[in-house]
Chain A
Amino acid sequence: MTAQEPIQPAEGCASSTPGGGSRREFLGTAVAAVATALTGCGKLSHEEFLQHNFRELSKDEVRDVIARLEREYKEKYGREVKVTNTAPLPGVIFGYALDLSRCIGCRRCVHACVKENNQSRSPEVQWIRVLELEKEEGVNLQHADQYYDPAEVPREGHFYMPVQCQQCKKPPCVKVCPVGATWREKDGITVVDYNWCIGCRYCMAACPYGARHFNWGEPNLPPDQVNPDTHYLGNRPRPKGVVEKCTFCIQRTRKGLYPACVEICPTGSRKFGNLLDKTSEIRYVLENKRVFKLKEELNTQPNFFYFYGV
C-alpha cells in the first residue's frame, strides 16, 4: 500500500474557457469545461475525457490514443516515449515462482522494478515489498517487517519473502472496480487502464496482498529517468489520482523477455515462464518442489507461487 500523504483542501483551479465562434468550437470548450469540473484541475484534454474504456476502442481509436499519449509524453518529458499495445501471446499463461530458501532480502528486485516501470521516485512508489520474517515463526505475517535495514542481509535467524501482485485467477480487485477500469488479460496479467480509472481505490481495499498503489500526487518522474519502452497497460507514465500495480513487466514479457526483477535478482530466486508449456522451468518447479500460495484460503488462486528450492 502506498503511504498516505496529508490531504489538503483543493485549491481553486483557474478554468480558461474563452468564448468561441462556431458550434463545433463551442462544443469542444463545453466538453473541456465539464472535464475541468469533473477532474478538479484542467489537466485532462477533451480527447482524453471522451476516450472510452480501452477494451472498447477500435483499432483506429487505439492508434489515435497512443499517438496522443506519445505526443503528450514528449511535451512533458522532452523525449520520445514509445507506447506499445502488444497483445497477449496465444497459448501463454504466465506463472511466477519465488524460492524462499534463496532470497536474501537484498531489494535489488524492488529498485529494478521502479526503474523499469516508471514509478514515482519521491516519495517512491514500490510495487514489490520484501518482508523480513523470523525463521522460528515461519510465514507469519504478524511478524513481518518491510522496513528492515541492517548493514548486511541475510540477517541471522531470518528469511525474506518478496510480495507483489499475485496475478490471481479470481482477482478481487477486478470484481470490485465500479467502472471496469481493471481486468485480467488472456495471458493472466491483471492490468489497469489508467485513463479509465476514477481513483476510487476500492481495488486497493479488496486486494489481500497490498499490491495496488495509488498516486496521491503527480508522479515525480525525472525526465532523464524515464524508461521510454512502455506498454499502454503497463509502465507508461501515469497521471495523478490513479491506481497502479505489477504487471509482470507486460512490456517485456510479451516480447519474450524476463521481467526486470528476474533479470536483476543476484540469487536466482525468481522463476518465470509459461504455465501451459510442459518443458518450462516454472512447470518443473510446480511439479517437483514444495510450493505454496500466499493466503490460499481466500481462493484468489494466484499464478504467483512460493517454493522451497532446497
Chain B
Amino acid sequence: MRENLHRFFRAARGAGVRLSPAESIDAMRAVSKVGFADRTVLRDTFLLTLAKTQDEKKALGDCFDLFFDQPEPQSPPEDSKANQEDQSGSSPSSDSSDDASGGGEQAEGLGQLAQMLLAQDRNQISAAIANAASAASLSDIRYFTQRGIFSGRILDRMGIERLRDDLDNLAEANPALAERLTNALDGLRGTVRDTVSQALMLYGREEAENLRNEILRNAPLSRIEPRQVEQMRHLIRQIARRLRERYSKPRKRQRRGHLDVRRTIRRNAAWGGVPFLTAWKRRHRDRPKIVALCDVSGSVARVSDFFLLLIHSLHEVVDDVRSFAFSGHLIEVSDILESKSPEEAMAEIMSKVGFGSSDYGNSFDDFEHGWMSAITPQTTVIVLGDARSNNLDPRADILRRIAERSKRVVWLNPEGRMAWGWGDSEMPRYSTFCTVVRQCATAKQLERAVSDIVASYQ
C-alpha cells in the first residue's frame, strides 16, 4: 500500500499539484489515522492534506478518481518477476489448472497468455496487465512519444512472443481457433494501449506542461495560435504572480521605523522626561511612480492583450501606476484596470480605444495636454508599442519633453530589432529619447523587462 501511496503522490505531481515531501508525510500520517477502507474519506483526506487551492483540489480529485479507478496489482511487485517467468515460459504444470476454466481441449500445448485470452477471464487478464505494467515501471512514463515503447514492454512481459509462435502453429492446424486468438490479441492490445494512455495522463502531465510552458515562453507573442492564447494568459498570470510575490513584500516593510529620541523627549516634557508616549521615525520613501502607455492598435492587437495583462498585474504590484491606452487617440485606463478583473478590463479597454490604426503623434499630443502633470522627476514612463505610426507625424518632440520631465523612459517593442526603422517604424527617432529600448516579443522577455522595472524601485 505504501508503494501505492507513493505512486499516487507521483501521479498527483503529474496532475499539477505541487507536493513537497512535508506534505506527503502529512498525508501519510493522516491516512494512517483514517485507513483505506472508506474511499470517500480517503479522497477527502488527500484533498485536505495535499491540495492548497481550489484548482489543485479539483485536479487532485480527478487524479484520485483516475488513479483508484485502475485495478490494483494483485500481487506485490516483488512477486511479479516470478509471475512473468511463469507467464512467458510455458510451464505445463500450471496449464492444467487453466484448461479447466474453459479454454477447451483445443488449447492444449498453447502458452499461458493464449490460454488466458481464450478463457476470456477479464479479471485474470487485467491483473496480468497490471502486473506486467508495474514490472515495466509504467509509472515512469513521461512523454506521449513513449506510449509505443511501454505498450511493447508490457506485451513482452505478458508473453506475446510465445503467443506469436502459438499463432503460427495454429494457423495450419486450427484456423478457427487462430482467428479467435487473433481477435482476442487485438482486444488485448487495445486494453494495454488504454492502460498506457491512462498512465500517461496520470504521470506525464507535469513534464508535458513544463515543456509546453517552456515553448510558450519563448514563442513570439504575435504569432500565438488562438488555442494557445488561454495557456499564454495563464502563463502571464503566473509571471505576474511571481512578480507580486517577489516584489510586493518589501513595499510594506517597516511602516514604523526607529525610535525618534528627540521627538519622544519633547513630547513627554510634561511628565518630567519619562517617555510615556513614544514617537517613531517614519521611513521616508518615494512612492514608486510608473506611467504606462500601451498601444492597442490593430498592428499590435495580438500582443496588446498580453501587454494589458501585464500592466494589470503591475497595478497589483506597485502602488502608484497610471495607465493609458491608445491607438488613434489616448485615454486613461487606470480605473478600469484597478476595478475590474483582467478579462473584463481588457474587453472594456479594447472596446473603447482598441483596434484602430495607430497614431503615435496624436496620442502623445493627447497625453501632453491631458496628463503631462502626472509625470514627475521620479516617474518611469513605459511605452509598449511597435512605434509604427502609419507615416503620420511621430511628434518625437513630445516624447523628448516627456523624457525631460521623467526619471526615465522605457520602450518595449514587440518587433525584432531588424524591423526597427523599416517601413513606417519610427523607432530610431523615438529611441534617442528613451533611457532603455528593449525588444519584447516573448513572454520571457516581457517578464524580464517588467521585473527589471519593478526591481529598480526596491
A and B physically associate? no
Chain B interface (Cβ within 8 Å of chain A)? none
Chain A interface (Cβ within 8 Å of chain B)? none
